[in-house]
Amino acid sequence: EDYLMGINFSRILTLKYGSQMASFLNTRRQVIAVGRVMTCVLGMVVRREIEIRQFVKTPFYRLVAFTEEDEKKAVAFEWRARKGSAYFDSPLLYKENGFKKRDDAYDLAKLIGGPEELKDKDSAKCEMELTVLSVQKKDEKKNPPLLYNLAEIQNDASKFFKISPDQTLQIIQSLYEKKLVTYPRTDARVLSSAIAKEIDKNLKGLSTLSIFKPFTDQIFASGSYKTIGKTRYTDDKKITDHYAIIPTGQGLGVLKSLNPTEQRVYETIARRFLAIFFPQAVYKKTAVEAVKDSEHFFANEKYLDKEGYLAVMHYSFLKDKNDDNAGSELLSQIKKGDKVPVKMLSIKEGETAPPKRYTSGSMILAMENAGSLIEDDELREQIKSNGIGTSATRAGILEKLVKNRYLSLNKKTQVITPTLTGEMIYYVVGYSIRPMLDPILTASWEKGLSQVADGQIGEDDYMKKLTAFISKYTDEVKSENNGAVLSKCFNYASQFYKKGSYGGVAKEKKSK
């Protein structure tokens, strides 16, 4: 059905609106290439760009009490509106922990006996106490992540190495051909039961590498590999064509001949694989609620207690972060009824942030998990298993959109933005064949194909519905005349793109 939609809709839209686009772009001709998957992806990127463009930043102000004058050494207690507060359900609030205007945050500070200096300063010394109402302590356990499928490793490679999904696929394909890793074009993130029974072979191979030997030694000593078949990392029902991407433990003699990026991709896959044989990471969390004159303040602490699988995740090419051990001994030691000294009050200014642009990696994940864009439960579950495109085609679809100059890919950051041409096509399709921009269409056709494969509906019935859909919208495009409204859309869009480059590159958004 991809072919039939693409060839029919591309022709009719090009014949109808291609010359109008070419005239606007000052080019000889303009093909309007559409496809069930390709156009849906284009729509996702353009919609995100429009959201960013229309976003207006909203400032807000929070009142924070510090136990020390040096904020870096202090415990921070943040005010929140609770029942009994002078500001509970007040229209002056931004959410429950901030104010729309700084003056109102200052009034709150004065209400609890804060210093006058806060009127003109961000922070000011003070002498007051908070009374602890409750202390909640609990362990938070974090499982090792599931294994890599192609979409997941493409996303991480985009973040870690700033390479495109297509480059990542080429690298893993090369590693596969060198017998270093298993088949790359897979959607599965688990092992098959058959592979799980022989997984010690993969581990023994990795044990010959000094970088991984400390971990394989622990795995063999604990015997965790023997029971991997009974964990969530093994599930035959979640495998269609092939299990997850893992190191084979073979072909290790060629590792030194790999280029640095190839070596790092291999290391990334190997560490994700080794992690599943390690226990959970355990964090200690403490949440404290305190009060001053009916106004409630909250502080939280989280620190890593047991490293577990995280011991494996110290990549040789990344600097380790120490955020997991952030916290204070004071917070974990206090108890209900204690008096906590406050030596500094601060009014912290913040602002709402616009949605983030897609990167090449996050777009691949968005294509795989397009169900999050769909409200209908049944359709969402269907697209969850099929996604937009397949593991074998997603990188190519993105590459085609860039090659057609409908999207622009920043090679240094891997951030994706639409071009003027791409946004113009978005409007053409939106006013002519709007379902092509909607992931629901992809889900419904994927569902139909699955039903044909399962014998729930006949092939003829499916083709009849497909033909009717194509005929309906082809006839509508023939009879419609959206030229005037599209001219307005083209003029609107053009102000956001730099001139002088074919396709039009998006300008950086200026803060409103």
SS3 (DSSP) at 31: coil
390: pLDDT confidence band, cut at 50, 70 and 90?
A: confident
pLDDT tens digit string along 410-463?
A: 999 999 999 999 999 999 999 999 999 987 777 677 778 778 888 899 999 999
Residue 13 half-sphere exposure toward CB, CA atoms < 13 A:
29
Q: Which residue has the higher pLDDT, 511 or 275?
A: 275
37: amino acid identity, one letter: V
Q: Are 294 and 268 in contact (CB under 8 A)?
A: no
Q: What pLDDT is attached to residue 232?
A: 95
Q: Which residues pair with 137 in a beta bridge?
A: 286
| Measured distance CA(106)–CA(99) in Å, rounded | 10
Q: Which residue has the higher pLDDT, 316 or 161?
A: 161
392: pLDDT confidence band, cut at 50, 70 and 90?
A: confident
DSSP3 helix / strand / coil % (the chain, rounded to 5): 50, 20, 35
| Measured distance CA(283)–CA(303) in Å, rounded | 5
Domain with CATH 2.70.20 in the chain: 59-137+286-351
502: pLDDT confidence band, cut at 50, 70 and 90?
A: low
Q: Structure tokens of 252?
A: 């290790």
Using the predicted structure, report yes or no on whether residue 373 has a pLDDT greater than 60. no
Q: What pLDDT is attached to residue 222?
A: 98
Place of tokens 């509906």: 457
Give 271-312 as a DSSP string: HHHHHTTSPPEEEEEEEEEEEETTEEEEEEEEEEEE-GGGGG
pLDDT tens digit string along 189-245?
A: 999 999 999 999 999 999 999 999 999 999 999 999 999 999 999 999 999 889 999
**Residue 348: closest CA among 149, 108, 87, 21:** 108
Phi, psi of 294 (to 5 degrees): 70, 5
**Residue 482: closest CA among 21, 53, 7:** 21
Using the predicted structure, report yes or no on whether residue 381 has a pLDDT greater than 90. no
Q: What pLDDT is attached to residue 418?
A: 98
| Measured distance CA(312)–CA(141) in Å, rounded | 16
Element (H, E) at 427: helix 420-432
**Residue 21: closest CA among 485, 488, 487:** 487
Using the predicted structure, report yes or no on whether residue 260 has a pLDDT greater than 60. yes
356: amino acid identity, one letter: K
| Torsion of the alpha carbons at 211, 215, 218 and 222, rounded to the nearest 10 | -150
Q: What pLDDT is attached to residue 511?
A: 42
Q: Are 374 and 366 in contact (CB under 8 A)?
A: no
**Residue 128: closest CA among 82, 80, 63:** 63
pLDDT tens digit string along 149-175?
A: 999 999 999 999 999 999 999 999 999
| Measured distance CA(290)–CA(131) in Å, rounded | 5
Q: Structure tokens of 213?
A: 């030997």
Domain with CATH 1.10.460.10 in the chain: 2-55+355-504
Q: What pLDDT is attached to residue 3?
A: 86
The architecture that CATH gives domain 59-137+286-351 is Distorted Sandwich (2.70)
Computed over every residue of the chain, the mean pLDDT equals 91
| Measured distance CA(291)–CA(340) in Å, rounded | 10
122: pLDDT confidence band, cut at 50, 70 and 90?
A: very high
Q: Report the predicted TM-score, pTM, of the whole model to 2 decimal places.
A: 0.87
**Residue 442: closest CA among 348, 379, 353:** 379
Using the predicted structure, report yes or no on whether residue 338 has a pLDDT greater than 60. yes
Q: What pLDDT is attached to residue 333?
A: 86
Give 301-351 as a DSSP string: EEEEEE-GGGGGG--TTSPPP-GGG---HHHHH--TT-EEEEEEEEEEEEE
With respect to CATH, is domain 150-275 assigned 1.10.290.10? yes
Q: What pLDDT is attached to residue 379?
A: 60
> Distance between terminal CA atoms of the chain?
44
| Measured distance CA(427)–CA(413) in Å, rounded | 27
Q: What pLDDT is attached to residue 500?
A: 58
Q: What pLDDT is attached to residue 205?
A: 98
pLDDT tens digit string along 62-116?
A: 999 999 999 988 999 999 999 999 999 999 999 999 999 999 999 999 999 999 9
- In terms of CATH, what superfamily is 2-55+355-504? Topoisomerase I, domain 2 (1.10.460.10)
Q: What pLDDT is attached to residue 242?
A: 95
377: pLDDT confidence band, cut at 50, 70 and 90?
A: low
The number of beta carbons lying within 10 Å of the beta carbon of residue 3 is 9
- Average pLDDT in the 182-187 region? 95
pLDDT tens digit string along 132-155?
A: 999 999 999 999 999 999 999 999
Using the predicted structure, report yes or no on whether residue 342 has a pLDDT greater than 50. yes
pLDDT tens digit string along 282-299?
A: 999 999 999 999 999 999
**Residue 113: closest CA among 102, 97, 124, 121:** 124
Distances from the Cα of 311 to the Cαs of 9, 140, 199, 315, in angstroms? Answer: 53, 17, 21, 10
| Measured distance CA(327)–CA(300) in Å, rounded | 8
Domain with CATH 1.10.290.10 in the chain: 150-275
Using the predicted structure, report yes or no on whether residue 512 has a pLDDT greater than 50. no
